[in-house]
Chains A and B, each alone.
Chain A
Amino acid sequence: MMKKRGQLTIFILIAIMIIAIIILFFLLRNKSPITLTGGNEESPESFLQNCIKDKFSKGVDLISSQGGYVSNTLNIGYDDKKVSYLCYSTLNYQKCINQEPVLITHLETEIKNYLSVEISSCWDKLTLGMQEKGYTVNVKKYNYTGVKLTPGKAIIELKNAEIRLTKTEESLKYNKFRLNFNTKLYDLAVVVQEIVSQEAKFCNFENLGYMMIHPETKITEKTFRDETTIYIVEDRKTKEQFFFAVRSCAIPGGIG
């Protein structure tokens, strides 16, 4: 009888231990990052996001105000901006030729290139900051895959970004960072592409009709010298703007 009781007790103890271990495992697993970097400290992902944020905004503003380019020789001066031509015809009376037919991919490339130094710098800051906080930082790889523009936001992905943080016996490993930034650049670019496409097709874009169906978008046209039209596409809610220029079916003064 005693044997049986003892046996039962052992079983119960073992069960309790197993349950305790399981509970402990889950507890430790969920809380370890917070413990690792200190309860109030931001995560590496947040750190990178905050570090890149300003540069990202600046880059998007610059690229948006210059027709989708950080710099481009085919441009027209407007205020202090060099607004790029996205559709251009050197000759008069001719429909314009699309200069950037895959605009969204191009924008992603421009932003990627613009941020590459900053991302590298932020990455360095992250590792340095962690070391200053007493972590042993082990960085193996760094692969900046680029920027993905989507409706309402831009996503920067750092794949294969293998970083291992170790403090005392605890360690943590990150493989992939996904940084989200709110921007209407994608949505504006879709409108821009539509305008360019219609200019290349009809020498004209009917902005009023478009705005009536899309009240969230404001499109302003400015007829400029050299028979150029500067378009300003604006998201009414966020006030983000995209400037670009078109020279299509230009009719010079007189018999030119």
Chain B
Amino acid sequence: MMIKKNKFNFTLLTIVLIQIFLLVNMSFADSYFIHQTDPLKDNKERINEGKNKDLTRIIFNLIVWFLSIEQIRSVYALSNFGCCLETTEGAICQPLLDEDTRCADGKFQPASCDDVSSCKLGCCIESEEGLCTTNSPKQKCEDNGGTWSEDESCNFPSCNKGCCVVGQQTNFLTEESCQALSNFYGVEKDWRQNVKTEFDCVLFSNFLDIGACVSSDMACRIKTRNDCSLESGDFYKDYLCSAPELAEFGINCTKQDSISCIEGKNEIYWFDSCGNKENIYSSDKEFSWNNGRVLKKENSCNPDSGNINSEDCGNCEYFLGSICSQSSKAGNKKVRDGNYVCKDVNCYDTYDRTDKKNGDSWCVYDASIGNGTDPVGSNHWIHQCIDGEEISNSCDIMRNKICVENTTTLDNGEKISFAGCVTNEWFDCLKINNEFDDYVDMKRECDKNNHCYMKMIWDPKEGTDSDLSGGIDAPPVWQCLPEYSPGLPFYDSDISSAQCSIATQSNLKAIKVKKCSWIIFGSYKWAINPVTREQKFTQSMNKWCTSIGDCGAYVNYIGVPTDGGYKVIGETPKLTRAYLEDLKQFKTPDPSQSGKQSGKSDYYLNLEGLPPETDAGWGTIAGTAAGALYLASSLGGLSVTTIGSYFAITSTTADGTITYLFSHTSFGAIAPYASAAVAVAFGYFIGIMIGNLFGLGPEASQSLAIVGAATALGVGIYSGYFATGAPNVFAFGPALVWAIIVVFVLAVISWLMGCGKKRIYDTGFECWPWEPPSGGNFCNMCNNDVHECSEYRCKSLGDACGFIDQDTSHPKCVWLNPSDIVPPMMTPWQESLTDGYSYTNTLVSPPSLGTEIISNTPTHCLEAFKTITFGIQTDKLARCRYSFEDKDYTEMNPFTGASNTNHTSFLMSPGVKTLQEEISRLIAEYEGITPEDEDYSAYLELLNTPIDDKLRVYVKCKSVNGYINTLPLAIQMCIDPEPDKTPPAILSITPKDNSIIKFDAIETAVMMYVNEPSECKYSSEDKPYDLMESDFACDTELTAGSLIGWKCSATLSTPSEDNTFYIKCRDRPFAPIEERNTNNGISYHLKKSVSILNIDSITFTYFDEKSSKTINSGETLEVGSEPFSSELKATTSGGGYDGKSQCSFSFKDSGGFVDFMETFSTKHTQKFSFMKSGTKELTIKCIDDAGNTAQQDVIFQINIDSLPPSVSRVYNDMGSLKIITTEDAECYYSLDNCYFNIENATSMTSLFSASHTAEWVPGKTYYVKCRDAWGNMVDGCSIVVSPNMFV
């Protein structure tokens, strides 16, 4: 083979390679370090294994895998947490990791807080006051005199609230609180447990028996019947003290003497001359007096109106926007008979220029919301009108909660709006992308949640040549994106960088293939990803980027766009100015937009299994169909030619010509035609085969096939006719020979003309944290807003904005240094360098032009495959970027971190030799030389031109006011010139050595990372590398690596209980064999689980302060009230770890699985604080570290017993009063009346039972109250018994 040495700019190529290498690695850098901190990574590796199929998904999954899921899950999975009795700040009973320095010295307990007696959480009851507080630590509660109980949600009778009547006022309190309040006011406790809500309790005061209470000294007071009876007064229901009928008793109170407000009441009331409250004020005095009778609110003047500022009616109503007030506090408006008025407490001309009623709440949005359009710095605000004042609160500083609003029309046509903040479930959307590979599954899950939406990012086949696209297996890239993009601390960008990188696609290739439609004539046609070179791809990627948080090119909430948050790679175009201008539209909120609740439980079943409904989706289906058709036709052709070949071979074996064969058969007449057909088919087949062999592409191969068929036909007829002179003789042999010759020659010509060759274009998009506009012109807008300023909001207005006085009620956003117009001074930062490396100087630039990094190795160079950190410092807050050429600042790559004075990044070099090899390989690939070629190694050798072993990194910084260094700071380092002499090292392997694998695992997927590009093999015996039988599939290209190494994977056969493998690797895959290094390998063991994983039991337990009840699946449980506290428990056994596993549960129709609160053991517990009655159908799923799984469905029936026990029978039982109740209960009696406290009464029951006994005392009346185990009890008496009635 003639080899011409091409002229290449090797230096440029070296830089390009390193740059690609670094770009690939840098993207992972932050993610990797975060990942390394995650204690659960090993578990997750197992969970995610075997999922990834295509490159795009692999990259995306890897990033998400590194970042998102691990981070959040680690928060919930508390298995590695202990209990900190007291933090350095003074917080008690906090679950923390043992290495967490926030725990005070000696205060860490290596156990769950629930297992530390002093920190056990429960309900603390302040006995004296009857106040119950949830989630309270045991010791703290008891030390302060409280009574502690285990149900942390306080779901038990003594903490249930009822309506406490004190005088004419009602309060919603526990029974104990009611007792305390009654004691304080010196009245008998009147507590109504059947009033279940606070609102009902407020209304309850209207139903109390009110009337005149005349005492023995002839004083009259308005009281409740109960209060009056306690004072032994005479009660006159519904009478006022000014009623003429009471005058005959000597009551002399003059009606309507004055008016006033009453604390706890909304209305204006008349008062008589004795100081008694009368009826609601009306200027129609006679109507209001009501002949001396109590007039209910609903019968008083204008009951359906708030009577705001009315001169004639004092029937104020808070819910309708008014409350009784002194005139002086209500603009001096007043009713006719006094200085009071129904003050207006509605809100007028609110923030959104509308009038609102008292109690209304509504959402206000700074800017556009939904569809991932929420601008940077924008918030969702909830506004409330309360007592005439408009109050605004942000749902969350960074849109982790969104505002949802509903409007209801009342019967009278009035509209009331109410709003609430709900959690923005953006994270669930990102999680879905990681959990599902299949489009249909992903869409189904995504559509379940209103906080997510599906978006196609790009279609690799869009714009490709129609013939080519059918054969490419590259589905459209869809993502489930957050409907409401979350805020990110872009100004403190470790987290932001990691999150934004989820939307980075830095290693895409757009590929053209030379399509020769007629053997040698052809042109390059797009095969894959042509769209990645178009503006719409960049825009679509930017949409993805901006949707996942404050990333990419976007606007802030005042409409200032910036484009510092992304970078395009290679041929991908940058965003246009028009696009950026267009983003300004999102600063304006759309009045028709409102936040939605996630509605996660809504499941649109009809979507399941249906094709995508978008145009793009149908395009996908069409493309797939085209591909299928292509495949079908190919297979059809193959089967025809195969049959033909078989037939021809059989024939030629018989005689040499088909004519002869057929002439001796009954089919002799058709033999020439049959042989011609077979020859044509053979020629066609040869054309296809040779075309494919030369890699000419389907079109050229098709052409060759036609030529082959035609040649075979032509030659066969010609040779047959001229050789024999007979018209119906077909020369089969020559036909085949010439067909092969012609096809082969044409194939060679086609190959030389470049048919089927590829042109590869680098494309891609890197998503970085959003950059605020330079300077601080807009900082003050944060202060002048109605809405509160926050650091997040302030920083979005300008890079130079500072949020000061944060610890005050009036923090400010200010331009920190407006007069600073000097670019930052840059200094090499010695401390940032990895140990063993140093800068030759640390002079300030300018004026210094640069420095050099040297290592303490003999060569002073950066060792091959060694990662180092390097960094610079600036004299002021700045953003710094670097590149390997002196470029414009906007073209460079960012250091980690946002505006800062310390800037660091990472470097890893493969070494000169490896770089040379990689360059040679790329050139060879470009030239079409493959490893299969005989001269491949020689060719690579020839290409090994020495390359520059110096690498320069150029750094420029931009001050927060936007001033950039004109001259860069250059940091030079040499790359190790020596060939890599160290054998490859296996950095990690999954599953780990000596892992236990599934009980029924015949094969096990193994993935490992090697520290450099290598080839690896394995065997069941320890033998030399070359003799090992099986290969790992390894990433051998330099640019395929990441900071965790180069990936190798294989599926190992694991038939035995104990399986041992020996694994060895050899580096530098493209180097001559004698220069490559082989390691000694490792022995690797996988042991099978002893049995399958079993779920032994699943129980459901109700519990309260006094009792608990447990049921198994299929059983029914009766409880007293809802919501109630309960516990779901599962136990596991078997598997690889004696039952130790991670279990999760899912309620039917409620969506996904949720991990048990306590799991990672053989016992799995989940508490429910607010369980309600009904049929509970659950699925429990467990998985152990070996991958053994178990699943079980259960059903529990929970019914509510809300009825009080009733008395079914009363009789004289051998001289005793015996009462039988309809259910087990405890009964008490009083001899006075039904208004007694059972705690102080005489018990008729020893334990809860249906039979109750008391002494039979004729002449006495027994007022009996019965209460069941759930505390159900009638308000009055269960029965009133007088033994006189019985014989």
Complex Cα distance, B67 from A99, in Å, reads 33
Q: Taking CB as reference atom, which chain A residue is nearest B810?
A: A79
Q: Is A96 an interface residue (CB 8 A)?
A: yes
B807 touches A88 (CB 8 A): no
In the complex, per-residue mask of B485-510: 1 if CB is within 8 Å of any chain A CB, else 0: 01111000001101100000000000
Our count of residue pairs bridging A and B at CB distance below 8 angstroms stands at 183
Q: Is B804 an interface residue (CB 8 A)?
A: no
Majority secondary structure, B binding face: mixed
Q: Which of A207-223 contact B (CB under 8 A)?
A: 208, 211-213, 215-216, 218, 220-223
Q: Is B181 an interface residue (CB 8 A)?
A: yes
Complex Cα distance, B486 from A252, in Å, reads 10
B95 touches A91 (CB 8 A): yes
Q: Is B133 an interface residue (CB 8 A)?
A: yes
A contact residues around B144 at 8 Å (CB): 100-102, 105-106, 109
Q: Is A60 an interface residue (CB 8 A)?
A: no
Complex Cα distance, B393 from A100, in Å, reads 26
- Stretch of B121-129, B577-585, B1238-1246 lying at the A interface: B121-129
B92 touches A99 (CB 8 A): yes
Q: Which of A85, A190, A223, A255 contacts B71 (CB 8 A)?
A: A255
Q: Taking CB as reference atom, which chain B residue is nearest A237?
A: B263
B489 touches A96 (CB 8 A): no
Given A97-B94, A197-B133, A223-B393, answer yes or no on A105-B145 (Cβ-Cβ < 8 Å): yes
In the complex, per-residue mask of B307-335: 1 if CB is within 8 Å of any chain A CB, else 0: 00000000000110001000000000000
Q: Which of B439-493 contact A (CB under 8 A)?
A: 486-489
Q: Which of A97, A206, A221, A254 contacts B486 (CB 8 A)?
A: A254
Q: Which of B84, B121, B181, B496 contacts A254 (CB 8 A)?
A: B496
Q: Is A32 an interface residue (CB 8 A)?
A: no
Q: Which of A230-256 contact B (CB under 8 A)?
A: 236-237, 251-256
B89 touches A74 (CB 8 A): yes
Complex Cα distance, B92 from A74, in Å, reads 9
Q: Is A58 an interface residue (CB 8 A)?
A: no
Q: Which of B90, B96, B145 contacts A91 (CB 8 A)?
A: B96
Q: Is B140 an interface residue (CB 8 A)?
A: yes
Q: Is A174 an interface residue (CB 8 A)?
A: no
B396 touches A223 (CB 8 A): yes
B135 touches A251 (CB 8 A): no
B318 touches A215 (CB 8 A): yes
Q: Is B902 an interface residue (CB 8 A)?
A: no
Complex Cα distance, B145 from A208, in Å, reads 32
Q: Is A26 an interface residue (CB 8 A)?
A: no
The winner among B136, B137, B420, B809 for most chain A CB atoms within 10 A is B136
- Stretch of B384-392, B567-575, B1073-1081 lying at the A interface: B384-392
In the complex, per-residue mask of A177-218: 1 if CB is within 8 Å of any chain B CB, else 0: 000000000000010010011001100101010011101101
Complex Cα distance, B496 from A85, in Å, reads 29
Q: Which of B71, B126, B181, B427 contacts A102 (CB 8 A)?
A: B126
B489 touches A201 (CB 8 A): no
A256 touches B386 (CB 8 A): no
The winner among B93, B397, B488, B496 for most chain A CB atoms within 10 A is B397
The winner among B129, B135, B318 for most chain A CB atoms within 10 A is B135
A95 touches B135 (CB 8 A): yes
Q: Taking CB as reference atom, which chain B residue is nearest A212?
A: B359
Given A102-B126, A221-B393, answer yes or no on A213-B202 (Cβ-Cβ < 8 Å): yes
A225 touches B141 (CB 8 A): no
Complex Cα distance, B138 from A101, in Å, reads 9
Complex Cα distance, B398 from A225, in Å, reads 11
Q: Is A78 an interface residue (CB 8 A)?
A: yes
B135 touches A96 (CB 8 A): yes
Q: Is B146 an interface residue (CB 8 A)?
A: yes
Q: Which of A70-92 contact B (CB under 8 A)?
A: 72-74, 76-79, 85, 87-92
A255 touches B495 (CB 8 A): yes
Given A193-B133, A201-B153, answer yes or no on A90-B145 (Cβ-Cβ < 8 Å): no
Q: Is A52 an interface residue (CB 8 A)?
A: no
B contact residues around A90 at 8 Å (CB): 84, 87, 91, 94-96, 102
Q: Is A160 an interface residue (CB 8 A)?
A: no
Q: Taking CB as reference atom, which chain B residue is nearest A74?
A: B90
A contact residues around B792 at 8 Å (CB): 253
Q: Which of A96, A106, A253 contacts B495 (CB 8 A)?
A: A253
Given A253-B398, A255-B498, answer yes or no on A97-B92 (Cβ-Cβ < 8 Å): yes
Q: Is A57 an interface residue (CB 8 A)?
A: no
Q: Is B199 an interface residue (CB 8 A)?
A: yes
Q: Which of B202, B358, B808, B1169 contacts A79 (CB 8 A)?
A: B808
Q: Is B1214 an interface residue (CB 8 A)?
A: no
B400 touches A197 (CB 8 A): no
B387 touches A193 (CB 8 A): no
Complex Cα distance, B140 from A94, in Å, reads 20
Q: Is B1222 an interface residue (CB 8 A)?
A: no
Q: Taking CB as reference atom, which chain A residue is nearest B72?
A: A255
Q: Which of A93, A102, A150, A201 contacts B135 (CB 8 A)?
A: A201
Q: Is B132 an interface residue (CB 8 A)?
A: yes
Q: Is B549 an interface residue (CB 8 A)?
A: yes
B contact residues around A227 at 8 Å (CB): 397
Q: Is B766 an interface residue (CB 8 A)?
A: no
B165 CB to closest chain A CB (Å) equals 15
Q: Which of B373-430 contact A (CB under 8 A)?
A: 384, 386-387, 391, 393-394, 396-398, 400-401, 420-421, 423, 427
A167 CB to closest chain B CB (Å) equals 38
A94 touches B95 (CB 8 A): yes
The winner among A72, A95, A213, A220 for most chain B CB atoms within 10 A is A213
A79 touches B807 (CB 8 A): yes
B568 CB to closest chain A CB (Å) equals 24
Q: Is A166 an interface residue (CB 8 A)?
A: no
A contact residues around B93 at 8 Å (CB): 97
B contact residues around A193 at 8 Å (CB): 131, 133
Q: Which of B79-130 contact A (CB under 8 A)?
A: 84, 87, 89-96, 102, 121, 124, 126, 129
B contact residues around A147 at 8 Å (CB): none
Given A213-B198, A253-B487, A253-B488, answer yes or no on A101-B496 (Cβ-Cβ < 8 Å): no
A255 touches B499 (CB 8 A): yes
B143 CB to closest chain A CB (Å) equals 8
Q: Is B266 an interface residue (CB 8 A)?
A: yes
B124 touches A98 (CB 8 A): yes
B contact residues around A95 at 8 Å (CB): 135
Complex Cα distance, B287 from A43, in Å, reads 51
Q: Which of A93, A197, A204 contacts B154 (CB 8 A)?
A: A197
Q: Is A129 an interface residue (CB 8 A)?
A: no
B contact residues around A222 at 8 Å (CB): 393, 788, 809
B75 touches A93 (CB 8 A): yes
Q: Is B791 an interface residue (CB 8 A)?
A: yes
A208 touches B129 (CB 8 A): no
Q: Is B186 an interface residue (CB 8 A)?
A: no
Q: Is A104 an interface residue (CB 8 A)?
A: yes
Q: Is B1049 an interface residue (CB 8 A)?
A: no
Q: Taking CB as reference atom, which chain A residue is nearest B155?
A: A201
B contact residues around A211 at 8 Å (CB): 386-387
A contact residues around B264 at 8 Å (CB): 216
Q: Taking CB as reference atom, which chain B residue is nearest A148?
A: B128
A100 CB to closest chain B CB (Å) equals 7
B1187 CB to closest chain A CB (Å) equals 27
Q: Is A134 an interface residue (CB 8 A)?
A: no
Q: Taking CB as reference atom, which chain B residue is nearest A221?
A: B393
20 examples of A-B residue contacts, CB within 8 angstroms: A87-B135, A90-B84, A90-B91, A95-B135, A97-B91, A100-B144, A101-B146, A102-B145, A103-B126, A104-B129, A105-B145, A105-B146, A196-B133, A197-B134, A201-B134, A201-B135, A252-B495, A253-B489, A254-B496, A255-B495
- Contacts A91-B94, A97-B136 supplied; 13 other A-B pairs, CB < 8 Å: A78-B808, A94-B75, A98-B124, A101-B140, A101-B141, A105-B144, A193-B131, A193-B133, A208-B361, A212-B318, A212-B359, A253-B792, A255-B72
8 nearest A-B pairs in the assembled complex, by CB-CB distance: A101-B136, A73-B90, A101-B124, A77-B807, A200-B135, A102-B144, A74-B90, A251-B400
